Structure 1
Amino acid sequence: MPDNVSVRVLVTGANGYLGSAVVEALRSDGHDVVGLVHLARTRVPHGVPVRAADLLDTEALTAAVQGVDAVCHLAGLTRVRESFADPLRYFEVNVGGTVALLRAMAAAKVRKLVFASTASIYGTPERQPMSEDLPDRPPHPYAVSKQAAESVIAAQSATGQLAAVVLRLFNIAGGADPDPTRIVPRILAVAAGDSPSLAINGDGTAIRDYVHIDDAATAFAAAIAHLPDPGAYRRYNIGSGSGTSVNELVAEAARLTGKSIAVEHHPAAPEPSRLVSDSSRAHRELHWEASTSDITKILRDGRAAQAVPPIS
């Protein structure tokens, strides 16, 4: 698909942290965007039409995808610890919901899909940075459910009825992140005086790849602009390509805010010491770059968002 072609795109999960950013990125690229929501508009940008449907309701989804050219599928469950407690729900929503959406798209003859997946599917590879040719070793039910959804999408693409791009996202951060369990909101909550201390498992040397929410969103716009022909399936890593430790995050947040950030060390958890992306395939084939993902900007934007009341 040429870069300058405008298409009508349905974004599932448009109320979400990433979904609302993807809506804005697609609009900035000149696309006509429709948001799919479960009940009602909350974070969907004003001026964007919304359609309501449950992800497990194929009939409602079929009505929702009418008249669109492509779908960005972001709706789903995403919390690792919760997936251990209720794995059946994660498979029901993340896999069953994807199957229902693909059935709806097939019925409506919508043949283009970009899917939000997770780099956690790789598990703990020794090779760093992590490229797309690594084997899958999903370590928890959430990752397994996303891997299964990818497999369903690949199988549907193989029938010739679908052109699909899967984006395996690393750690999205920055902006108005509503998830208080993620590391950047937790650090900023301590800096703002809303939390007494930051609990860290281990010594704080674990290194992760943080990609700014805006860069993650533009990856979806880039994927829409470079969708393959029906019958083809492509997968890309979306990360900054840089690693930052928890200790480095804390030190930079303290420098930016001028606040002391109390840290409470807990016993080390069984987790990888380093997870960093190789996103060169996305750079090369999608013409996408992580241009705003330095950790200073991520923290600064997260702090600025703290002062903005949520959209209601």
Structure 2
Amino acid sequence: MRVLVTGAYGFVGNAVVRRLVEAGHETVALTHRPAGAPLPALPVSQVLHGDIRDQEALAAALDGVRGVCHLAALTRVRESFERPAEYQAVNVGGVVTLLDALAAAPAGATPPKVVLASTAAVYGAAAGQQPIGEDSVPAPSSPYGLSKLAAESELRARAEAGALTAVGLRCFNISGAVGGVGDGDESRIVPKALEVAAGRHPYFGMNGDGDAVRDFVHVDDLARAYVMALEAPARAPYRTYNVGGTPVSVREVVATVERVTGREVPVVHHPPQPEPPRLVADVSRIAAELGWRPERSGLQRMVTDAWSAVSAGNR
């Protein structure tokens, strides 16, 4: 199958492309990086350059494509409070442009299946609903979460109108590395702790005692979910799946980073914040319907793989 991956050169895109190729698919990458800019090695058959809000660029990228993994987006929760309009324009506008490009395809052409990168941020605090199932009422508490929920709604509406079939993958906290490519976003827990271990930051800021529990999934396990969602027969015009792996506390993350790296991670404790004590994924739906289960999402494995990427300078 010829598959378009938007955001192919990002942390998740890199892993998805590798899993698609391993499964025998031909991959096409759409990147916003300018033509002529150096690109990391990735086993794609074609690279196209353009913004995800450019319908002409998307139309060219969709030529002969039978599946789309739409990963290109702005993804930083804290940053989204400073740039809400931009998050709406890119995360929602990019999906609308993709859908419009698909709708402009020649009559009679079967539209590709679309797998959308969504997020657990659509659930917000999800108080009293642990583990969080896909039927939990969304209550996003950030512009990022709002933009992703709106993107899901646009895709769902087109799918339920019969225009295409689609899947939304609501990912929890992603970690690890594939092909030496890790997560360079230091606003996230594991990358920040590793940067402190590497001596690039003086300390790790922890709210309270670090008892808050979050769900982490290895980026390679997430990439397998994309392939399985793409290949599976459609159960409905639109289906949503949670993708999570291992619930651990922030304190456990820091302790594991120290153990894996053999280095101290100095911690500065900040006052406790009004944050959910536990946000954990219910992954029973994706297990039952797609046969997906986490295989590499143990905390030590995720931290070890991520540290290897940091040590190699591939943050």
Q: Normalised by the size of structure 2, how large is the TM-score? A: 0.92
**Contact 1:18 / 1:213 at 8 angstroms: preserved in 2?**
yes
CA RMSD of aligned residues (A): 1.5
* 1:233 to 2:235 alignment: no
Distance, in Å, in 2 between the alignment partners of 1:294 and 1:9 is 30
Mean CA deviation greater in 107-116 or 270-279: 107-116
Distance, in Å, in 2 between the alignment partners of 1:62 and 1:47 is 18
Distance, in Å, in 1 between the alignment partners of 2:45 and 2:186 is 27
* 1:255 to 2:259 alignment: yes
* 1:301 to 2:302 alignment: no
Task: Provide structure 1 residue ranges, at least 5 long, that are not aligned to the other structure.
Answer: 1-6
Offset, 1:120: 1.2
Deviations 1:97-152 (A, max 9, x none): 11001111222343310000001111112121111111111111110000001000
**Contact 1:111 / 1:161 at 8 angstroms: preserved in 2?**
no
Mean CA deviation greater in 102-111 or 164-173: 102-111
**Contact 1:170 / 1:277 at 8 angstroms: preserved in 2?**
yes
Distance, in Å, in 1 between the alignment partners of 2:56 and 2:264 is 53
Deviations 1:237-277 (A, max 9, x none): 0001x310011111122122222221001122221110011
- Pairs within 5 Å for 1:207-218: 207-218=213-224
Offset, 1:227: 4.4
The match for 2:153 among 141, 151, 160 is 151
Task: Provide structure 2 residue ranges, at least 5 long, that are not aligned to the other structure.
Answer: none
Distance, in Å, in 2 between the alignment partners of 1:280 and 1:152 is 25
Amino acid at match of 1:184: V
Mean CA deviation greater in 46-55 or 185-194: 46-55
Mark the CA change 1:44 to 1:157 in structure 2 (over 3 Å): closer, same or farther: farther
Mark the CA change 1:23 to 1:118 in structure 2 (over 3 Å): closer, same or farther: same
Q: Secondary structure at the match of 1:96?
A: helix
Mean CA deviation greater in 45-54 or 22-31: 45-54
**Contact 2:194 / 2:257 at 8 angstroms: preserved in 1?**
yes
Q: Secondary structure at the match of 2:168?
A: strand
**Contact 1:8 / 1:68 at 8 angstroms: preserved in 2?**
yes
Q: Normalised by the size of structure 1, how large is the TM-score? A: 0.93
- 2:95 alignment counterpart: 98
Mark the CA change 1:307 to 1:259 in structure 2 (over 3 Å): closer, same or farther: closer
User: Number of paired residues?
Assistant: 303
Percent of pairs identical after alignment? 48
- 1:13 alignment counterpart: 7
**Contact 1:164 / 1:227 at 8 angstroms: preserved in 2?**
no
**Contact 2:4 / 2:65 at 8 angstroms: preserved in 1?**
yes
Distance, in Å, in 2 between the alignment partners of 1:227 and 1:64 is 24
- Pairs within 5 Å for 1:1-312: 7-40=1-34, 42-43=39-40, 45-108=42-105, 109=109, 110-125=111-126, 126-175=128-177, 176-228=182-234, 232-240=237-245, 242-310=246-314
